[in-house]
Amino acid sequence: MSQDARGQAMDAFLDGSGWAAATRHPLPGDASFRRYIRLSRGHEHAMLMDAPPPQEDVRPFLNMARHLVGLGLSAPAVLAEDVASGFLLLEDLGDATFTRRLAAGACEAALYALAVDVLIDLHQHPRAAEILVPPYDDARLLTEARLLTDWYMPEMPGALTGQECIESYEALWLPLFAKARAVPETLVLRDFHVDNLMELEGRTKSAACGLLDFQDAVLGPVTYDLVSLVEDARRDLAPGLADAMRQRYLKAFPDLDRHDFDASMAILGAQRHCKVIGIFTRLYKRDGKPVYLRHIPRLWRLLEQSCRHPVLAGLKVWLDKHLPAGSRGVPQ
C-alpha cells in the first residue's frame, strides 16, 4: 500500500472511531514496522497503533492486551480496532516509561521491585497460561540463538564460521534448553524490560505498572522474563540490584528448586544475549539502524557473566575457540 493510501485508510479509521478531528503527535519509532501516534482532543488522549500488513499483524497484540487486562494487569485497553488494515486505537498510558523515570532520578530499586511484583502476580495467576500462544520450544530458542552465528560472527575478523562451527554450536544448545525447562512454565512476555514498562499514577500494587510490547508472548520457563528485566541489553543496573530482585522473586516461590532456577537463569540469559547481539547486528546491516550497536559491549559482559555458571562450561569453551576475546567487538 502506498503512503498516500495508508494515510487515507488511517483517516477513515479515525473518522469511524470518532477521533478524526484529534491532533496527532507521532512518537519516535522502534526496531519494528509499527509506529504510534498520540491523539489529543481537549483533555482526552488516545494512542493509535499503525501496524501495516503484511509486515505486522495486530491480532497477537490485541488478544494478549485483553488477556492481560483480564488478569488484572495494566495493558492498554482497546478502544477501537481494524484488524485487516492494521490499526488499533488504544488507551494512552502516558509517557512515564521506567526508562524515562530512571533518567529523571526515580528510585531504581522501587521501580524494579514493582516490575518483579508484576511477574510474581502473573506467574501466580491460575489463568495466566490460558491463552493460545506458541510454545518457546527448542526450534524457536535455537533459531534465536543462531542469530549470533548468522549475523554477528560474519562481521567480526577472527571469528570462525564454518559448517563444523555452526553444527557444534547447535549441538551445545539442545541439552541446555532441556535444563532450562526444569523450572515451571508460564506466560512469557519476552520483552520485559524498562523500555516497555510504565509507571501509572492512580493505580495500586502491580496494576501501577503499565505493560507494552507483549505481542510476541509465548509459553516458556518462568525465568525468561526475569532475565530480560535484570540483565538488560540497554542499561546497567546498580551493583547488587539484580541479585536483590532475583531474591525478591524467589521469596514468592519457596518451592522452586534453587539449583534448577539458577541454571535456567544462566542458560536463558546466555541464549538471550546471543540472540540480541545478533539482532542488533542485523538491525545495523539489514535495516540501516546502527544506534543499537553501542549496546554490544554490555551484551558481551552479560554473556560472559552467564557463562561463569558451571552448566555453561561447554558454551564458554566454544566461544573462546570460535569467538576469542579479540573478536568480541562492535561490527564496523
pTM for the complete prediction? 0.93
- Which residue, of 56, 91, 126, is where some domain finishes? 91
The reply to whether 157 and 267 lie within a common domain is: yes
Structural domain count, the chain = 2
Q: Is residue 166 in a domain?
A: yes
Domain containing residue 253: CATH number: 3.90.1200.10
Q: Is residue 26 classed as helix, strand or coil in its secondary structure?
A: strand
The contacts of residue 267 (CB under 8 Å, 6+ apart) are 176, 177, 179, 180, 306, 309, 311, 312
Lowest-pLDDT range, 42-46, 219-223, 266-270, 271-275? 42-46
- Which residue, of 91, 122, 142, is where some domain finishes? 91
- Read off the pLDDT band of 284 (50, 70, 90): very high
Q: Is residue 332 in a domain?
A: no
Beta strands in 197-266 (DSSP E): 197-199, 209-211, 218-221
- Which residue, of 72, 91, 110, is where some domain finishes? 91
What is the distance between the alpha carbons of residues 49 and 30, in angstroms, rounded to a whole number? 13
Q: Is residue 136 in a domain?
A: yes
Over the Cα atoms of the chain, what is R_g?
Answer: 21
pLDDT of residue 161: 78
**Burial of 66 per CB tally in 10 Å (0-12, 13-18, 19+):** middle
Grid cell digits, residue 142: 535455537
- Read off the pLDDT band of 275 (50, 70, 90): very high
The reply to whether 26 and 133 lie within a common domain is: no
The reply to whether 40 and 175 lie within a common domain is: no
- Read off the pLDDT band of 9 (50, 70, 90): very high
Angle at 273 between CA 272 and CA 279, to 5 degrees: 85
The reply to whether 313 and 168 lie within a common domain is: yes
> Of 133, 53, 106, 118, which is closest to residue 248 (Cα–Cα)?
118
Q: Is residue 38 in a domain?
A: yes
b/e for 245-256, b at 16 or more Cβ within 10 A?
bbebbeeeeeeb
Integer CA distances (angstroms), 131 to 128, 135, 247, in order: 8, 11, 29
Name the residue range of residue 300's domain. Answer: 98-327
Q: Is residue 154 in a domain?
A: yes
The reply to whether 184 and 318 lie within a common domain is: yes
Q: Has residue 295 got a pLDDT over 90?
A: yes
Share of the chain above pLDDT 70, in %: 99
The reply to whether 21 and 116 lie within a common domain is: no
The reply to whether 59 and 114 lie within a common domain is: no
pLDDT of residue 30: 65
Q: Is residue 283 in a domain?
A: yes
Domain containing residue 14: CATH number: 3.30.200.20
- Read off the pLDDT band of 157 (50, 70, 90): confident
The reply to whether 149 and 266 lie within a common domain is: yes
